[in-house]
């Protein structure tokens, strides 16, 4: 049994017999998931030895994983104080939200010109055009489904390069987007707004769909502006309880 950074336990042991490169990848994926689940928050400090001990691996793959996370902007290291979680750069996050709008509005324009429905529409309808009783209520699951909604719309537009850039943007703002789904009212609003956007897209009402999408993302950006260190700590506590 391994203890998480927040003190919680987990049964997800790493494969200690895996090649070093694969171990580093496993450590990287595990730590990034913990960051996205708010098990760490800005200012938290730790050492390579602590991470290696709880994951049951040597410091070499841990160090490789930590430097990857530093290069991605999540962490930093000080010579005497060790590793720590960096503050969120909210100005950069807002710029990425603006880029999301550009990409997704362009995707809706392309979708509006299609004569037939892409295969992605069936998956979108099955997830979002559902009754209230069928809606998911777990914030973590809804957060993942929300990412899928926007990603599928862009992929359905048929431009793989646009989809690749959008995927990169999604990865870089995931840690704050997931906070949007720690509140029940935001979960309900997401279902309502996604259903309206999707219906407009299916009906080829492109202008309406674009307006709804812009409003939807702007509201999410407003929520991001409200995020404070206290909100991050509160999210971590809710995650521990739930």
Listing DSSP states for 138-188 in one string gives: -HHHHHHHHHHHHHHHHHHTT-HHHHHHHHHHHHHHHHHHGGGGSSHHHHH
Q: What total number of domains does the chain contain?
A: 2
Is 215 found in the same domain as 193?
Answer: yes
Is 131 found in the same domain as 20?
Answer: no
Q: How confident is the model at residue 135 (pLDDT cuts 50, 70, 90)?
A: very high
Is 102 found in the same domain as 68?
Answer: no
3-state secondary structure of 81: coil
Average pLDDT over residues 7-25: 61
Q: What is the CATH number of the domain that holds 42?
A: 1.10.10.10
Is 143 found in the same domain as 99?
Answer: yes
Handedness of CA 93, 94, 99, 102 (dihedral sign): positive
Structural domain ending residue among the three candidates 22, 55, 85: 85
Count CA atoms closer than 13 A to 193's CA, side-chain side. 20
Is 143 found in the same domain as 220?
Answer: yes
pLDDT of residue 6: 44
Structural domain ending residue among the three candidates 51, 85, 119: 85
Average pLDDT over residues 183-189: 88
Is 212 found in the same domain as 107?
Answer: yes
Is 130 found in the same domain as 167?
Answer: yes
Is 13 found in the same domain as 39?
Answer: yes
Determine, yes or no, domain membership for 144.
Answer: yes
Is 98 found in the same domain as 218?
Answer: yes
Q: Which residue reads 């935001």 in tokens?
A: 186
Structural domain ending residue among the three candidates 33, 67, 85: 85
Q: Using the predicted structure, report yes or no on whether residue 208 has a pLDDT greater than 50.
A: yes
Tell me the residue range of the domain where 197 lies: 90-226
Which of 37, 74, 71, 34 shows the shortest CA–CA distance to 50?
A: 34
Determine, yes or no, domain membership for 241.
Answer: no
Determine, yes or no, domain membership for 240.
Answer: no
Average pLDDT, the chain: 88
3-state secondary structure of 78: strand
Is 178 found in the same domain as 67?
Answer: no
Q: Which residue reads 């960051």 in tokens?
A: 35
What lies within 8 Å, CB to CB, of 105 at 6+ separation is: 210, 213, 214
pLDDT of residue 18: 58
Determine, yes or no, domain membership for 182.
Answer: yes
Q: What is the CATH number of the domain that holds 106?
A: 1.20.120.530
Determine, yes or no, domain membership for 177.
Answer: yes
Determine, yes or no, domain membership for 192.
Answer: yes
Is 123 found in the same domain as 55?
Answer: no
Is 27 found in the same domain as 79?
Answer: yes
Average pLDDT over residues 76-97: 91
Neighbours of 133 (CB within 10 A): 5
pLDDT of residue 17: 56
Return the structure tokens found at 161: 């390069």
């Amino acid at each position: 049994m391994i203890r998480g950074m927040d003190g919680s336990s987990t049964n997800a042991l790493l494969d200690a017999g895996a090649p070093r490169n694969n171990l580093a990848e496993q450590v990287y994926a595990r730590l990034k998931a913990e960051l996205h689940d708010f098990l760490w928050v800005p200012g938290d400090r730790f050492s390579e030895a602590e991470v290696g001990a709880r994951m049951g691996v040597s410091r070499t793959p841990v160090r490789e994983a930590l430097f990857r996370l530093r290069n991605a902007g999540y962490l930093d290291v000080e010579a005497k104080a060790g590793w720590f979680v960096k503050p969120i750069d909210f100005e950069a996050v807002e710029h990425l939200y603006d880029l999301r709008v550009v990409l997704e509005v362009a995707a809706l324009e392309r979708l509006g010109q299609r004569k037939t429905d892409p295969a992605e529409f069936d998956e979108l309808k099955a997830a979002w055009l559902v009754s209230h009783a069928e809606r998911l209520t777990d914030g973590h699951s809804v957060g993942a489904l929300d990412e899928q909604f926007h990603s599928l719309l862009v992929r359905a537009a048929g431009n793989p390069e646009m989809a690749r850039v959008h995927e990169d943007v999604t990865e870089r703002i995931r840690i704050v987007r997931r906070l949007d789904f720690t509140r029940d009212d935001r979960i309900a609003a997401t279902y309502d707004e996604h259903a309206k956007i999707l219906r407009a897209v299916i009906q080829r009402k492109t202008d309406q769909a674009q307006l709804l999408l812009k409003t939807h993302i702007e509201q999410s950006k407003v929520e991001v502006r409200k995020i404070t260190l206290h909100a991050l700590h509160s999210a971590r506590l809710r995650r521990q309880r739930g």
